[in-house]
Amino acid sequence: MAVKIPNSIDELPTSSPRFIGHRVKRVEDTGLVTGRTEFIDNVSMTGMLHCAILRSPIAHAKIEKIDVSAALDLPGVVAVVTGEDAAKWSHPAASSPDGWGTYCLPADKVRFVGEPVAAVAATSRYIAEDALELIEIEYEPLDVVSDPVAAMEDGSPLVIEERGSNVMLQRVFNWGDTDAAFAAADHVFSEKFRWNRLGANPIETYGCISEWDPTELGITVRGAFQSPSHMALGRAMTFGLPSNKVRMIAHPHGGSFGGKGGVRGTDVSLLLSRKTGGRPIKWIEDRMEYLAAGGSQAWDRRYEFSIAVTNDGIVTGLKVKLVDDIGANGEGFGAISAAKPLAAFTGPYTIGAAQYDLSLVATNKAPASPYRGMGPPPHNFALEQMMDIAARSLGIDTAEFRRRNFIPKDAFPYIIPSGNEYDSGDYEAVLDKVLALSEYEKLREEQKLAREQGRLVGIGVASAIEPGVFDWNAYAVVGVQGTGVPEGATVSIDILGKVMVRVGFALEGQGQYTLVTQLVADYFGLEMEDVSVTMLDTASAPPAFGPGGSRLGVAITGAVLGACDRIRVKMCKVVAGLMQTEPENIQLMDGVFGIPGVSEAQMPMAQVAGTMLGASHLLPPDVDPRPEATHVWTAAGRTPVDEEGRTKSYLTAAHAVHIVLLEIDPDTGMVEIQKYVLVDDCGTRLNPATVEGQTQGSVAQGIGAALLEEYVYDEDGQLLTSTYMDYLLPTIHDVPALVMGEVVTPSPFSPLGAKGCGEGAIHTTPAAVMCAINDALVPLGTRANEVPAAPNRLWKLIHTARENTSSD
Amino acid sequence: MATMKTVRMKVNGVTHESEVEPRTTLVDFLRGPLALTGTHVGCEHGVCGACTILVDGRTARSCLMLAVQADGAEITTVEGLATPEGLHPIQQAFIEEHGLQCGFCTPGFLMSLVELLSENPDPSDAEIKDVLGGQICRCTGYQSILKSVHSAIAKLRTAGVAAQPPLA
């Protein structure tokens, strides 16, 4: 019998859900506010040593000689590893694109500042760091290439010689007849954009405790893994081990946002464990290591955008040319960020033809990593600027211009030119609501008055899709293989009717253990306290990926409800046997199994569980007596890529429109956000409080992206933003209070109709803020096409524009 | 091996005396020998505020202090907020108002607020932001934290207690 996973909250076996859809308190929080939650750096093990990593101070150099003898002589130092050990015991890291990985410790040359070259295991971190200073390395500097455009030219220094070029991938995708759309267009608008490197920066860096098992020839790593199963597969490849010899034990971690990283440090510490005969090796990345060489850096992009537009303001074609600077190798899987925009390439609009001219380029900078949003935020930023450029040129209000181009609500499910399918939506309803909430007309009037006073006040209206529930096929075009991302859960009921749910991912911040608790409590008519959630390691957990690609809320809902349904089916059989009827006559409702309408034929779930576990001789012979089930959920209907790179990849398509009012101080270039209003539609809201939390946090990251955050390299490949004094994260002063509203169009495809919403606002916020900045700059006749729009950049734009005006 | 120094400090009401290397940071001392791992390390250069604790009632970045500098001090860490009877009102407020997500920065926020609300039981938003401007949260976008602070203020007022936990 097929497992039944409800597509709507109304289909749950409860007359009135008490938890799902409600703002419930998170079950995770008591441990966190008391400091008791076991983050990886809180853990110590018998015999444990501490690892410190020596990193290259030069962006590109041959390693002539490494002498570790003095380090080994330091009391407390147990082992040192270098590229020699890596070559002996490991393989180059898996990468995207394939074949662009390097050893975790290179033997021949370094390719970016911060690249590990040697590592020490010692009895304390202090001693390990002392020992680093005793390692002598002779480098022969090589020419550095830090500009991806220069890196593509013949004769450029090569980052990985064996590849023969710095171009990791070059491909032009054509979806529909884009040239014909441009030839037929009344107007063509083109613009160049620059999005500078930024990144995740969770407040906890990566950390792990690695053990090589010399008897089993396997490895066990405890760590701050966003996806333990994914880390396990990668380590199996790197160390040439069967995947069943690699065990990952995930710990709760202090955020990830896609950029937890940790691959190199894990592999280096595993080499040290092997060299020390299997001692546990703790490696805690420090913040400067994270900033220079962790999973920290993403999206270093040079864009050329063109759109074809009719006189009526309908966009008919889109051309995008992207040079994406991936850094020194493909081990960070930053390249998937160039593939993900295919899942929403034309945004919420009916644009019928599109072209993507994509170049991924290697340079002597830190390898690019994923970051929340995984690539679309810069794409959306540029697309939304184009929408504004066209709207202004045609004299159409920017909100109205978007309305004319929205996919209409009766067109869903809707397949976009790049192949992905949007499940559902009502984009006009979202726009109408945000216009009303923001009192848009009034804002425009206020802006008019402000402009008359010479003030630089701007209003940004931006709209974007958040693809939800990723599938590996979304990244096939950059060499990532596979279709289907499983998420499993095991639900077990004890003899008293209390429930334990076992999952394969650790706490990360999104409140997913709370969601699991809500689901089970409503399904079986329990209190939330009756449900516990625990994490298993990769050796014992059901197949699981964990958070990523706005998937886990939807995926774990499918897994938990699938497991609950399997238990329900078993229990119906048990109850039918006891009541001498057929299982189809038995119904579960509000935690009670029985024959509807027959008051004497009712059994509370706890009694059924107690009977199964305590009196299995009473059960029908074909019933498994355990009140327990596992379900592994995958998204249905995903398709492999076709020859044009098209695929049904992401299951859901959430939508949002943001409106920002801001003012630029012309004397300082500082931006003050005065009003921020957004309405989004992520389908059914399973816990509205956590949805809002994700949205608010994502707006903050989007504001950081638009105004503050930037990794700056000089031409020698030196990182100039190596501390939080230079890499600026948004503080409480930078993030405005939000006005938020919602529209709910449930997904027809997903458990309970929910849409992925974890990445959230970062898909829209940078676009909205930049639209507002450019709106403010209209009277000066200038544009800000570079992100972040930091005060120095805006000041220069404003003053150049004023000088030009005064000299006219 | 560097010369060891003896330090004596009262942490969450318990007196500790230990030998430490003079270069040991206070946070490493608290998290290591004292096993008080609720104080977290986020940047080790004094910006993120995750390691904030109270030293003689005043907030301090424990990553920027040496253990020897705290010789003779009374220290409160996040472990000192709750009692066997229950959570501190500020902790309760953060749970109720979803003032945390990953929770890694939270102990630092709580300690900064203990100092603020001890000195000023009814701060304005500007005063709250002035204090919390030194704490970075990457998850929440701060709005739920602001709500948590207002909830904490109300709880403390209703209970008629001071924010500063009793130092035994």
Q: What is the mean pLDDT of residues A149-173?
A: 97
ipTM value for the complex: 0.98
In chain A, whose CA is at the least distance from the CA of B103?
A32
In chain A, whose CA is at the least distance from the CA of B128?
A732
Q: What is the pLDDT of residues A455-486, one digit of tens each?
A: 999 999 999 999 999 999 999 999 998 788 99
* Residue B168 confidence class, pLDDT cut points 50, 70, 90: very low
Pick the CATH number of A40-142+205-253+261-293 from 1.10.420.10, 3.90.1170.50, 3.40.50.10330, 3.40.30.10: 3.90.1170.50
For residue B1, the chain A residues in CB contact (below 8 A) are 75
pLDDT of residue A807: 67
Tell me the CATH number for domain A9-36+486-633: 3.30.365.10
Angle at A497 between CA A529 and CA A505, to 5 degrees: 55
Q: What is the mean pLDDT of residues A603-608?
A: 98
Rounded distance between C-alpha atoms, residue A176 and residue A315, angstroms: 14
pLDDT of residue B166: 60
8 Å CB contact of A126 and B24: yes
Rounded distance between C-alpha atoms, residue A184 and residue A350, angstroms: 16
Rounded distance between C-alpha atoms, residue A64 and residue A107, angstroms: 9
Domain with CATH 3.10.20.30 in chain B: 5-80
Structure-token match 């504004």, residue found: A388
DSSP β-bridge partners for residue A83 = none
**Does an H or E element contain A149, and which?**
helix A148-151
Query: What's the gap in Å between the CA of B72 and the closest CA on chain A?
Result: 24
- How does the average pLDDT of chain A come out, rounded? 97
User: Measured between alpha carbons, how far is residue A48 from residues A125, A210, A223, A488 in Å?
Assistant: 11, 9, 14, 33
Rounded distance between C-alpha atoms, residue A44 and residue A50, angstroms: 10
Q: What is the pLDDT of residues A361-412, one digit of tens each?
A: 999 999 999 999 999 999 999 999 999 999 999 999 999 999 999 999 999 9
pLDDT of residue A483: 80
Q: What is the mean pLDDT of residues A249-273?
A: 97
Residues 107 to 126 of B: which have CB under 8 A from any A CB? 107, 110
8 Å CB contact of B142 and A732: yes
pLDDT of residue B1: 55
Name every residue whose Cβ is closer than 8 Å to that of residue A808 and which is 6 or more positions away in sequence.
none
Could you please state the CATH topology (level 3) that the domain comprising A301-474+640-807 is classified under. Answer: Aldehyde Oxidoreductase; domain 4 (3.30.365)
Q: Do the beta carbons of residue A306 and residue A185 sit within 8 Å?
A: no
Mention the CATH class of domain B89-159.
mainly alpha
Rounded distance between C-alpha atoms, residue B123 and residue B110, angstroms: 15
Domain with CATH 1.10.150.120 in chain B: 89-159
pLDDT of residue A657: 98
DSSP β-bridge partners for residue A676 = A660
8 Å CB contact of B102 and A202: yes
8 Å CB contact of B138 and A202: yes
Residue B165 has pLDDT above 90, yes or no: no
A9-36+486-633 and A301-474+640-807 agree in CATH topology: yes
Give the side-chain half-sphere CA count within 13 A for A760. 26
Query: 3-state secondary structure string, A503-552?
Result: ECCCCCCCCHHHHHHHHHHHHHCCCHHHEEEEECCCCCCCCCCCCCCCCH
User: Measured between alpha carbons, how far is residue A188 from residues A159, A182, A194, A352, A783 in Å?
Assistant: 38, 7, 20, 15, 18
Q: What percent of chain A has pLDDT over 70?
A: 100
Q: Between A35, A689, A700, which is nearest B142 by CB?
A: A700
For residue A692, the chain B residues in CB contact (below 8 A) are 98, 144
C-alpha torsion B11→B14→B15→B16, nearest 10: -70
**Does an H or E element contain A54, and which?**
strand A49-55
A149 phi-psi bin (left φ>0, alpha ψ -120 to 50, beta other): alpha
Q: What is the mean pLDDT of residues A92-99?
A: 95
8 Å CB contact of A202 and B47: no
CB of B106 within 8 Å of a chain A CB? The answer is yes
Question: What would the DSSP string read from start to end of B81-129?
Answer: T-BTTB--HHHHHHHHTT--SS-SSHHHHHHHHHHHHHH-SS--HHHHH
Q: Which two tokens stand for residue A334?
A: 């930053």
Residue B33 has pLDDT above 50, yes or no: yes
Choose from B29, B98, B145, B146 for mutation: most chain A CBs within 10 A.
B98
Rounded distance between C-alpha atoms, residue A485 and residue A634, angstroms: 6
If you compute the radius of gyration of chain B from its CA atoms, what whole number of angstroms results?
16
User: Measured between alpha carbons, how far is residue A690 from residues A135, A175, A749, B110 in Å?
Assistant: 48, 37, 22, 21
User: Could you tell me whether strands A739-742 and A671-681 are parallel, antiparallel, or unpaired per DSSP bridges?
Assistant: parallel
Question: What would the DSSP string read from start to end of A190-209?
Answer: EEEEEE--B----SS--EEE
Choose from A29, A39, A528, A724 for mutation: most chain B CBs within 10 A.
A29
Q: Which two tokens stand for residue A214?
A: 């010399």
Q: Which two tokens stand for residue A222?
A: 């405890």
Residues 62 to 101 of B: which have CB under 8 A from any A CB? 77-79, 81-82, 87, 91, 94-96, 98, 100-101
8 Å CB contact of A689 and B98: yes
Rounded distance between C-alpha atoms, residue A459 and residue A33, angstroms: 39
Superfamily of domain B5-80: Beta-grasp domain (3.10.20.30)
Residues 540 to 599 of A: which have CB under 8 A from any B CB? none
Quick one: how far is CA A205 from the chain centroid? 16
Residues 395 to 414 of A: which have CB under 8 A from any B CB? none
8 Å CB contact of A255 and B79: no
Q: What is the mean pLDDT of residues A751-775?
A: 98
User: Measured between alpha carbons, how far is residue A194 from residues A321, A377, A379, A792 in Å?
Assistant: 12, 13, 11, 15
Rounded distance between C-alpha atoms, residue A301 and residue A326, angstroms: 9
* Residue A623 confidence class, pLDDT cut points 50, 70, 90: very high
Residue A418 has pLDDT above 60, yes or no: yes
Residues 68 to 97 of A: which have CB under 8 A from any B CB? 75
| Residue A232: strand, helix, or coil | helix
- A31 burial (CB, 10 Å; 0-12 / 13-18 / 19+) is middle
Residue A681 DSSP one-character state? E
* Domain ranges for chain A: 9-36+486-633, 40-142+205-253+261-293, 301-474+640-807
Residue A421 has pLDDT above 70, yes or no: yes
pLDDT of residue A671: 98
Residues 490 to 519 of A: which have CB under 8 A from any B CB? 507-511
8 Å CB contact of A41 and B31: yes
Query: What's the gap in Å between the CA of A7 and the closest CA on chain B?
Result: 27
Buried b (16+ CB within 10 A) or exposed e, A458-492: bbbbbbbbbbbbbbbbbbbbbbbeebebbbbbbbb
